[in-house]
Amino acid sequence: MDLLIEGYLDYLGVERGLAANTLESYGRDLRQFAVYIKLRRVTSWAELDRNHILNYLDGLKKQGKSTATVSRSLASIRSFFRFLHHEGKLELDPASELDSPKVEKKLPSVLSLQQVESLLYRPDAVSPGGLRDRAMFEVLYATGIRVTELVTLNLADVNLDAGFIRCLGKGNKERIVPLGSVAIKAVVAYFNSGRPKLVRSREMRSLFVNHHGRQLTRQGFWKLLKKYARESGIDANITPHTLRHSFATHLLENGADLRAVQEMLGHADISTTQIYTHVTKSRLREVYDKAHPRA
């Protein structure tokens, strides 16, 4: 049973090119399900029926797991059994007719323009680390790329003369995103006065490095972000995705085309990008309620 899970994860990684974080999520969901099944003396995936899956999902709900978590677990299980059926490992797919629970979409957390300004100018832009942090925040807000895409940028991915960066998104899909003049200026300052003092080897190709001269990690970036947010007096529950959300929302608020924002964010489906139109509407309502004398 475990070997079939590992074979499926290999298929997702090699054949479909899914990102490491996505593979980790699939693997965690399926291994937890496998533990549950083995405790019920099931020794083969072929022995399962839909009731095993329904009982497992019901158990997750009773444990207090969110609807999103239950829905994601079902998606992982359903995809796994579809794979086994397609590969001839299962005669029948026990998950084929199971519907996912409806997940209420929460509006993403977005910073105001004033909060973004406060955050972007918080790094001292004098020390090597400060220059790096200013450049990272400027690039993130200027492009809306994911944090994983940011920390995996290489020197060859940045074209300052043409004003764009090249990044690899989900599924190893490459896209080109424009870089604004302020972000370019911050990256140039980091190139000239910050990065040379941080790198330990000329062979290092990563754009953003830590104080040990190695590629900065997502966790390292998150720690920096929370530190600067706290120093900036931002009380919102800020995450590495917050600047991405703010980038998209501020573009749409200022008249950007939804398709263009979709392309810059790297969304495969425009319905994913449309969540930001709801954010802008809710923000307009908030402004109206505060400003109009008869609101």
Q: Which residues are catalytic?
A: 146, 170, 241, 244, 267, 276
In this structure, are residues 264 and 143 in contact, taking their beta carbons and an 8 Å threshold?
A: yes
Q: Exposed, middle or buried: residue 246 (CB in 10 Å: 0-12, 13-18, 19+)?
A: buried
Count of C-beta atoms within a 10 Å radius of residue 76? 19
d(CA 166, CA 153) in angstroms, rounded, equals 8
d(CA 216, CA 222) in angstroms, rounded, equals 10
Tokens, residue 63: 């444990």
Contacts (Cβ under 8 Å, ≥6 apart) of 268 = 170
Helix/strand/coil percentages in the chain, nearest 5: 60, 5, 35
d(CA 288, CA 295) in angstroms, rounded, equals 7
Tokens, residue 155: 């020197």
Enter the DSSP assignment of 125: S
| 206: three-class secondary structure by DSSP | strand
d(CA 184, CA 198) in angstroms, rounded, equals 19
